[in-house]
Amino acid sequence: MRDAHIRRRRVVLALLVGVSLVLLTASFGSADGGPLHPIRSAAMVVLGPVESAASAVFKPVRDLFGWFGSTLDAKDEAKRLKVERDELRTQVVDGRAALAQNEQLRKLVGLGRRLSLADYAPVTATVIGRSPNVWYATVQVDHGSDDSVKVDQPVINGDGVVGTVSAVTPGTAVVTLITDRSSGVSSQILGGRRDVGTVVAADGDPGMLSMELLPRGADISVGNLVVTAGARSGPLETLFPPGLPVGQVSAVNQEQLRSDGVVSVKPLADLSHLDTLMILTRDVAAARRSAQ
Amino acid sequence: MNGERTYARKRVALAGVVAVVGQLVVISQVPPFSGSADIVPLATLSIGLMLGSLPGAVFGFAAGLACDLLLVQPLGEYALLGLGIGYAAGRVGELRPPATRLALVPLGAIAAAAATVGFGLLQIIFGAGASLSLVVVQQAMLSILWGAILAIPVDLLMRRVVGGPPSVDAPSSSRRRAYATGGLSPLSPGRKR
C-alpha cells in the first residue's frame, strides 16, 4: 500500500515536472507565446473577471494600507518641510538684517559725504548691548580704545546724532544717547532766524527731547529741523561738528516758548532700534587743522 | 469518505485562490509589500507542511501556474518553482515536522529565498537576459525578509481556510509522523481495514 502510494507520488511529481518543463520550453522558445497563447488567452478570459471582482472587493483594504502609507509619508514630508522652513526662515531673517544694515551703512556713507565727515576719522561700530531699563539711555558698541575711541566723542548714525561716548575699554565703548538726562547738544533751528539752543532729554518722555535756552521771540514752528550748532554749552570746545541732524520740532507751545524758551523735539535717529553707528574719533579742532 | 476528501480538496483549492488573489490584488499593490513580498511560496509552504509532499507539490504547481497565467509570465516558471517548494515543504512536514510555530520564520525565509533565487536561475538557464546587480540583491534580501515576517500570518490563514490543525504548536504526543502512519496527508486515501 505504502509502495503504491510512493509510486503514485513519484508519477504525479514526474508528470508535473514534465508539464512545467514543456510549458517553460514552449514559453521561452517562442516570442509571442506560440502554441500557448490560446491557453493564456483563455485563462485570462476566465480568470480576468475573477481578478477584477476580487480587486474591487479588496480595494478598501488596499486603500486602508495606502492611507497608512500616505500618512507615514506625509509625516516624513511634514518633518522635512519643517526643517526646510526653519532654514529658510533663518535665511530670510539674515537677509533682512543684512538689508537693514546695508541701508544704515548707505545712510552713514551718504551723511558722511554730505557733511565731509572723513576729516573726523569716523569709526564704524555695531551695537552689541543696550541698557535694559529706562533710567539709563546707553548702548554698548564693539569698538573701543584700540580703535582710537575716547570718552566724549560724538556718535551718529545714518539719520543723525545718536549720543556721545561715555566709557571706553580696549574693545568696547558705552554710548550715552542724547535722550539720556546727562546729555546736552548745542543745536540750531534750521529756518527762521536760525535760533540756537541746547537739546536735552525731555521731562517725562524717555524717547523725546527738548530744546532749551532758546532766545525770547524765537521764530520756531513744528517741523523745523534741528541740527548741531558746532558749539558746546559752556567754555569747552565743541564736540559735534556743525550741521549734523539732531531732530525735528514736534510741538511748540508759544506761551512756554516765550516764558521758558523751550520746544519739543523728536530725535531723527530711531534710538530704539540702533544697529550700526559711526564714532567720530577726531575732535572738531583737530579736524579743522587736518582740513587746513 | 470520498465526500470528505472532495470537501478537503475544495478547501485546498479555495486556499490556492485566496493565496493567488491575495497576492495579486492586495499584497502586490500595497505599499510596504509591493514589489518584494510574495505570499504564494508561503502559502505553498504552509500547505506542504500541513498536508504532505504530494498535495504540497500539486498546490504549488497549480498556484504557480495560475500566477504565470495571470501575470503573463513564461508559463511553467512559477509552476515549477511552486512544485519544488511544495514538495520540499511536504517532505519537511513528513520527516521532521516543525515543533513550534516560530520554526515557520526560517522556513518562510527559505521558501522566499528559493522562489527568488529559483526565478533568477530559470531566467539564466533559459537565457532570458537576467543580470545580477546590487539592486537585484537588495530586492532579493527584502523578499526573504518579508518571507520570514509573513510566514506565520500566512500559515494561520491557510490553516483557517483549509481547516487543518490550528497550530503547529500542538502537543507532539498528539501528532504522528505522516510517513509512520502510512497516510501522507488528510487528502491521502484512508487505510483499508
Q: Among A29, A27, A25, which Cα is nearest to B72's? A: A27
- The answer to the question of residue B187 being in a domain is no
Average pLDDT over every residue of A155-178 = 89
- pLDDT value at A142 more than 80: yes
Q: Among A170, A187, A177, A135, which Cα is nearest to A156's? A: A177
Task: Flag whether residue A42 sits within 8 Å of chain B, measured between CB atoms.
Answer: no
Q: What is the ipTM of this complex?
A: 0.73
A56 CB contacts (<8 Å, ≥6 apart)? Answer: none
**A66–B188 CB contact, under 8 Å:** no
Q: Give the model's pLDDT for residue A97.
A: 77
- pLDDT value at A114 more than 80: no
Tally of domains in chain B: 1
Among the partner residues B76, B87, B189, nearest to A21 by beta-carbon distance: B76
How high is the mean pLDDT of chain B? Answer: 80
Q: Give the model's pLDDT for residue A40.
A: 74
**A1–B191 CB contact, under 8 Å:** yes
- The answer to the question of residue B185 being in a domain is no
- pLDDT value at A92 more than 90: no
Q: Chain B residue with minimal CA distance to A21?
A: B76
B112-168 tens-digit pLDDT:
999 988 888 887 787 665 566 777 788 888 889 999 999 999 999 999 998 866 555
Which CATH number goes with the domain that contains B142? Answer: 1.10.1760
Task: Flag whether residue B127 sits within 8 Å of chain A, measured between CB atoms.
Answer: yes
Q: Give the model's pLDDT for residue A230.
A: 78
- The answer to the question of residue B179 being in a domain is no
Q: Which residue did the predictor score with more confidence, B184 or B136?
A: B136
The single-letter code of the amino acid at A39 is I
**B66–A50 CB contact, under 8 Å:** no
Please, where are the H alpha helices in A177-250? none
Average pLDDT over every residue of B8-12 = 87
B22-56 tens-digit pLDDT:
887 778 777 677 667 889 999 999 999 999 899 99
Average pLDDT over every residue of A161-189 = 88
Task: Flag whether residue A43 sits within 8 Å of chain B, measured between CB atoms.
Answer: yes
Q: Chain B residue with minimal CA distance to A31?
A: B74
d(CA B137, CA B116): 10
A219-256 tens-digit pLDDT:
888 888 999 987 655 555 667 888 889 999 998 888 88
List the Cα angle B131/B133/B138 in 5-degree steps: 125
Q: What is the pTM of this model?
A: 0.51
List the Cα angle B20/B109/B17 in 5-degree steps: 10
- The answer to the question of residue B189 being in a domain is no
Domain that holds residue B59: 2-169
Task: Flag whether residue A98 sits within 8 Å of chain B, measured between CB atoms.
Answer: no
Among the partner residues A9, A28, A39, nearest to B126 by beta-carbon distance: A28
Our measurement of the distance from residue B77's CA atom to the centroid of its chain's CA atoms, rounded to an integer in Å, reads 15
A264 CB contacts (<8 Å, ≥6 apart)? Answer: A202, A208, A209, A210, A211, A249, A250, A251, A252
- The answer to the question of residue B188 being in a domain is no
- pLDDT value at B11 more than 80: yes
**A23–B79 CB contact, under 8 Å:** yes
Among the partner residues A9, A20, A69, nearest to B53 by beta-carbon distance: A9
How high is the mean pLDDT of chain A? Answer: 82
Among the partner residues A1, A36, A65, nearest to B75 by beta-carbon distance: A36
CB pairs under 8 A between A and B: 102
When pLDDT is cut at 50, 70 and 90, the band that residue A134 belongs to is low
